[in-house]
Amino acid sequence: MTTLSVGAAQPPVAAKHPRKIEQHHEVRIDNYSWLREKTNPEVLDYLEAENRYTAAMMQSSEPLQQQLYREIVARIQETDLSVPTFYGGWFYYTRTETGKQYRIHCRKEGSLDAAEQILLDENSLAAGHNYFRIGDVEISPSQRLMAYSIDTEGDEVYTIHVKNLETGEVYADRIPGAHYGIEWAADNKTFFYTAVDAAKRPYKAFRHTLGETAADALVYHEPDERFNLSVLRSKDRAYLFLRLESSITSEYRILKADQPRGKFGVLYARRPDIRYSVEHHGRHFYIRTNDRAKNFRLVRVEEANPARTGWQDVLAASPGTYLEGIEMFCHHLVATERNGNGLRRLQVLDLDGGASHFIEFSEVAFTVAPAGNADFNSGTLRFRYTSLTTPLSVFDYNLTARTRELKKQYEVLGGYDPAHYQTERIYATSADGTRIPISLVYRKGLARDGANPTVLYGYGAYGMPSEPSFSSERLSLLDRGFVYAIGHIRGGSELGERWHDEGKMMSKKNTFRDFIACAEKLISARYTSREKLAIMGGSAGGLLVGATLNMRPDLFHAAVTRVPFVDVINTMSDVTLPLTAIEWEEWGNPIAGQKAYEYMKSYSPYDNVKATKYPMLLVTAGLNDPRVSYWEPAKWVAKLRATKTDGNLLLLKTNMGAGHFGASGRYERFREVAFDYAFLLKAMEPDQGGAVKTPR
């Protein structure tokens, strides 16, 4: 394999400070546990040394990085605006301006021809901060007030502020330590929010009333560390909800929005392995639940007497249909479903007794989802549609007339023509005989000769699907002859709850075997070869990459893994860390169960690094990451350096001022993408310098 730069730079060598860990009558030695000491100057020195080494080894690719960055920026409409959403007599939208990192939140009253009112300029708020992210922007029912939350560290802990939209005054009300989610009551002066504990779990809900000097009232405290707490409001604005969720169990507490000082009452008490969500319409609650329905069903029940005995099926359980969610309107209901091919579909139900129907889509692989449907009384569904070759498109669909109108397709500058690209849906066969979908995109005219550089992406966790969607950034790879593939592996939910169940807990290794099968399919079908195949994944997808590399290091030429979850045993045994207890129902509990411990240890990437040859590898981390602590990738890289037997490039790049999602500004994010792509291009085609192929 090639190196990216030649010179005197030597990789940092992390000191070994053996720590003995005794668990289930077994002793493990962790040589790099000391890297957890964030306040230790030696730790920061080590991370900075790794960053300097990465910069030195990537120095020869800097012209390519700049070229890629310019390409990516040149494809976007830098000054642009979103499709306005109508709510409460106003059209709300965001816009961007050339050269500015962040969005500007705006509205117009009554008509799109009305004068613009700027509600929030993120660029102004971000001034002086290395990191900036808006969590929530919530408008009061009167449209006079706005509650919004800000994170300036990247640790996903927010501070809530309130602005008077008529006077422009930002009130003195300032609430630190909040999580995602703010919901207004109907009185236009009260809102509810959640706060996080030491492990950054949202565990308490509070009521805040403007103008009151007393401490915010605690309305609920969730002591069970497996459960997250969030606040929601029904689409018709009639109810406030407290949602309590573990990975496999849920519970809702409800309160009428016009009674904000009332007490939240339990709708259905939690029962193990039973999940549900709630919407409200007229005199009924609509319940999406897996109670007696593996892939969920939709029932309706009287608001006045919501006992389970009164449930009436609206959408009955079907083994071949996975009900993902619903969008409620005054006269219609839209169900988001997945059928046997793993693709989403939208079913429209007429609540006034009319016939139901599906909204049709024709591409072989695509993703579609309702978005921006704030107005309960509307007869129009707004949805977003995209595919591997179709840029993000926003449609308005008339639910009665069954007609659609394209409101906006986000422009790809520079002459992008989807006719020059090909998308496919193929299947791999996993070790147990299961068929695994793969979505592909590449330039038309591609020769199936095994010589094409290819990136295989995967995630496969938490029941989260990997959607086949468009990326204008990705064109920089496709136009250089790359194939881009998505493995829809088990652990996601593309084919329903079974697909998730067969890739978690004591079945987690199916995820890795599926990914290996996808790689082998791409090779056997002559899209690529081992010498031209790279894999990519982030967070839980980084676990996927790490475990796969340990199982089949010979199968790949390069890998990119962003903020990877790789120190599985140590992290899942530490309840002081964010997400640990919450995720025992996804990965297993190695503290309580020896079988879970032994199974997790058998695939944990950090614990299974071995003396063998590994592909070229780029690893990223975020110093303030609350989801995957920076030390996981740092420890993994340190152990790989000390153990692997090859001279292939191994890079660790830590963002010293950000968290899980990397840089917050859009231009800085583009630079991160350009860096990753430069690594891949130079790894795959070092002699070509990443030249664009002649279109075929």
Q: Which residues are catalytic?
A: 539, 625, 660
Separation of first and last alpha carbons in the chain:
29
> What b/e sequence results for 607-626 when a residue is b if at least 16 CB atoms lie within 10 Å of its CB, and e otherwise?
bbbeeeebbbbbbbbbbbbb
Structure tokens at 574: 């530490």
Instruction: Return all residues near 447 (Cβ < 8 A) that are at least 6 apart.
Output: none
Identity at 212, one-letter amino acid code: E
CB of 229 closer than 8 Å to CB of 194: yes
Strands 558-562 and 616-622 turn out to be parallel
Name the DSSP class of 459: -
Identity at 100, one-letter amino acid code: K
Name the DSSP class of 606: G
**Strands (E) located in 432-502:** 435-443, 454-457, 483-487
DSSP bridge partners of 281: 284
CB of 292 closer than 8 Å to CB of 308: no
Structure tokens at 444: 């038309």
- Order the strands of the 239-245 sheet from edge to edge: 228-233, 239-245, 250-256, 265-268
Q: What's the chain's length in residues?
A: 696
Strands 366-370 and 380-387 turn out to be antiparallel
Structure tokens at 563: 């903020």
Tokens 């340990």 belong to 550
Tokens 């802990």 belong to 157
Tokens 């889509």 belong to 361
CB of 497 closer than 8 Å to CB of 294: yes
Structure tokens at 562: 């962003």
CB of 471 closer than 8 Å to CB of 71: no
Question: Measured between alpha carbons, how far is 219 from 131 in angstroms, rounded to an integer?
Answer: 32
Strands 284-289 and 276-281 turn out to be antiparallel
Q: Give the helix ranges, DSSP H, for 444-593.
A: 475-478, 497-501, 509-524, 540-551, 568-572, 584-587
Instruction: Return all residues near 496 (Cβ < 8 A) that are at least 6 apart.
Output: 294, 295, 321, 322, 338
